[in-house]
Chain A
Amino acid sequence: MPEAVRIVDEPIAGAGTVPLLAVSGLNAWYGESHILHGVDFGIAEGEVVTLLGRNGAGKTTTLKSIMGMVERRQGSIRFAGTETIGLPSNRIARSGIAFCPEERGIFASLNVKENLLLPPQVGPGGLSVDQVFELFPNLKERQASQGTKLSGGEQQMLAIGRILRTGARLLLLDEPTEGLAPVIVQQIRRTIERIKAQGFTILLVEQNFRFAATVADRHYVMENGRVVDMIPNAELESNLQKVHDYLGV
């Protein structure tokens, strides 16, 4: 098994700056199941970084651990220099991290606008409702509809638009393109490019590395609950065989 990549509060290899998020020796458990076995990686401010890996590698658990949604965690997660490993998820969110879950988390009892307005603002620099509607015009047309009556693509737009409002500095997106039509995937890609240009930092979990290659600066590869490799996007082409081996494609 390749050695884990250790990155703490040091300049990030391939990014050349002190990380906004530094994960070090992260272990996590669901009940008795030990899922993460010492995850180490970092993200610099303004970067888009992906976690690649097969199903069950621990990508989603890593996001949930950063967000404080996994009960039993050990190790260190420093965000903007502050340790968050012992904080409850509401305080982690208030520190400036927002999470968009794989299943999108649209609330059936709330309409589109209520879903959009649900997360409180945690900092300056978030998009206004009008800006979200400009980004995703479909949502404006359907703002009075029940959240779960939207198509899968529209629900994904709502889930992303919802966290863009909060002013969080770091966005955690879990499989934002899963199950979506190619035209919607393109729209999500353009959105990520646009919010990256606005200075948001994004940690993206993706199985579709072809999509990841169009938006990310760097890729961390996870296997068996560890980060086993880091590939800068510029070197992805020359490492395609390695990526194929990691992902089993």
Chain B
Amino acid sequence: MTEIFGVPTQALFGQLLIGLINGSFYALLSLGLAVIFGLLNIINFTHGAQYMLGAFFAYFLLNKAGLGYWWSLAIAPLASGAFGMLIERTMLKQLYKLDHLYGLLLTFGLALIIQGLFRNEYGSSGLPYPIPEELSGARNLGFMFLPNYRAWVIFASLVVCVGTWFVIERTKLGSYLRAATENPALVQAFGINVPRMITLTYGFGVGLAGLAGVMAAPIYQVSPQMGADLIIVVFAVVVIGGMGSIMGSIVTGFALGLVEGLTKVFYPEASNTVIFIIMAIVLMIKPAGLFGTQR
């Protein structure tokens, strides 16, 4: 059997693949957090619960309405986004002139309520969600077996992340968003409806979490705790990439997924903590994060 650094290639690439899969979710979730923080200045602690909601939407669509994965992929992010916009209009809107801490407390409280309600109804154990038929099976790459569904998750996540980056950094709509991040009052005085843009941006960020939830459902199962388990790591990813940095969240999300995977191969004991160790080092050397600027 071929080995690299004394590790069988199957094991090495298998862990790298798991790292990339995790990285795909880190990137999607931290991208949503970055977009929201950039414009709303709110650290959205509800993000994990909104990711879980996406997965549950998919579960309900399948089991109550008979609509499968591909329908869920379109409907669940929209439903999550609409729910997010409702939260923004009715609650977050009241907090924009207050300290960050109030937004953090409100979103944290909301996360606890949403997760509590789902745990009360569905318990803590995961509910199964099948891999769509078109993406079942795996292909032999010679050095490893690549499950089709996992390849799809990595591909779709990359497309969504790069697409989002392109819209924000290279289009007129994105220039409104970037300008409003710096000086919303002036952008509004140019004739742009900034409050509506804020609502739609929050909805989009939450929609990304919902999309990640749908994509995660066949891999991790659908559970009320699935967001809570992931969100702490995602916040570390956001801090390392730089709060509010779009490119930072994408690159750091995928890179840290890979680092986590490699750590599992070479020093498994540290695999759960490596991201937090990196976060501590980055905070000491570059407090604004690798791609961030001091605000």
Contacts and interface: CB of A to CB of B under 8 A. Distances in A.
Interface string A7-44: 00000000000000000000000000000000000000
B175 A90 contact: no
Contact of B178 (A93, A98, A107): A107
A111 to B, nearest CB: 9
A32 B194 CA distance: 25
Nearest to B194: A90
Contact of B189 (A93, A108, A114, A117): A93
Interface residues of A, number: 24
Contact of A107 (B183, B185, B194, B195): B183
B124 interface: no
B74 to A, nearest CB: 31
A109 B181 contact: yes
Interface in A77-115: 88-90, 92-94, 98-99, 101, 105, 107-110, 114
Interface stretch (A118-126, A176-184, A203-211, A212-220): A118-126
A67 interface: yes
Nearest to A104: B186
Interface string B185-205: 111111111110000000000
Given A69-B185, A101-B186, A117-B172, A109 B191 contact: no
A21 to B, nearest CB: 16
B179 interface: yes
B188 A89 contact: yes
A109 B186 contact: no
A68 interface: yes
Interface in A52-69: 67-69
Interface residues of B, number: 19
Interface in A119-175: 119-120, 122, 166
Contacts, number: 57
Interface string B140-153: 00000000000000
A90 B193 contact: yes
A92 B186 CA distance: 12
Given A110-B175, A114-B175, A67 B189 contact: yes
B248 to A, nearest CB: 14
Contact of A117 (B175, B183, B186, B194): B175
B175 A89 contact: no
A105 B193 CA distance: 18
B183 A120 contact: no
Interface of A: 67-69, 88-90, 92-94, 98-99, 101, 105, 107-110, 114, 117-120, 122, 166
12 contacts: A88-B188, A88-B195, A89-B188, A99-B186, A99-B189, A105-B186, A109-B179, A118-B175, A118-B179, A118-B187, A119-B190, A166-B191
